[in-house]
Amino acid sequence: MRTIKLILAYDGTDFAGWQRQGQRRTVQATLEATIEKITGQQASVLASGRTDAGVHALGQVVGFETASRLSTAVIQRALNAELPCDVTVLDAAEVRPGFHPTHHALRKRYRYVIHDGPVRNVFQRNYCWHYTYGRLSVEAMQRAATALIGTHDFSSFETSGSPRKTSVRTVFDLSVRRDGAGGQGRGEDADFVTIEVEANGFLYNMVRAIVGTLVEVGRGFQPESWVGDVLNATDRRLAGRTAPPQGLFLVNVDYE
Q: Which of 14, 52, 153, 179 is catalytic?
A: 52
Binds its own copies by CB under 8 A, chosen from 23, 161, 183, 256: 183
Calpha distance 250→141 (Å, rounded): 21
Strand locations in the chain (E): 2-10, 46-47, 56-66, 87-95, 105-115, 129-130, 150-153, 168-178, 192-199, 248-255
Q: Closer CB to its own copies, residue 178 or residue 186?
A: 186
Spatial contact of 82 and 53, defined as CB atoms under 8 Å apart: no
Please report how close the Cβ of residue 177 comes to its own copies at its closest, in angstroms.
13
Residue 5: C-alpha distances to residues 72, 76, 255 (Å): 9, 11, 12
Please report how close the Cβ of residue 87 comes to its own copies at its closest, in angstroms.
6
Q: Is 91 a catalytic residue?
A: no
Q: Closer CB to its own copies, residue 89 or residue 203?
A: 89
Q: Closer CB to its own copies, residue 108 or residue 186?
A: 186
Under rule CB under 8 A, residue 187 binds its own copies? yes
Q: Closer CB to its own copies, residue 1 or residue 122?
A: 122
Mask of contacts with its own copies, 74-93, x by CB under 8 A?
A: ------x----xxxxxx---
Calpha distance 14→87 (Å, rounded): 10
Q: Is 29 helix (H, G, I), strand (E, B) or coil?
A: helix
Under rule CB under 8 A, residue 109 binds its own copies? no
Calpha distance 218→150 (Å, rounded): 21
**# residues contacting its own copies (CB under 8 A):** 31
Binds its own copies by CB under 8 A, chosen from 122, 161, 165, 237: 122
Under rule CB under 8 A, residue 203 binds its own copies? no
Calpha distance 252→48 (Å, rounded): 10
What single-letter DSSP state applies at residue 36? Answer: H
Under rule CB under 8 A, residue 251 binds its own copies? no
Calpha distance 164→101 (Å, rounded): 17
Calpha distance 52→248 (Å, rounded): 10
Q: Closer CB to its own copies, residue 38 or residue 147?
A: 38
Calpha distance 23→20 (Å, rounded): 8
Where residue 34 falls (left for φ over 0; alpha for ψ -120 to 50; beta otherwise) is: alpha
Under rule CB under 8 A, residue 73 binds its own copies? no
Strand partners, 98: none
Q: Closer CB to its own copies, residue 18 or residue 127?
A: 127
Sites for its own copies among residues 205-224 (CB under 8 A): none
Under rule CB under 8 A, residue 133 binds its own copies? no
Task: Give the residue numbers annotated as catalytic, written as ranges.
Answer: 52
- Residues forming the site for its own copies (CB under 8 A): 9-11, 56, 58, 80, 85-90, 113, 119-125, 127-128, 181-187, 189, 249
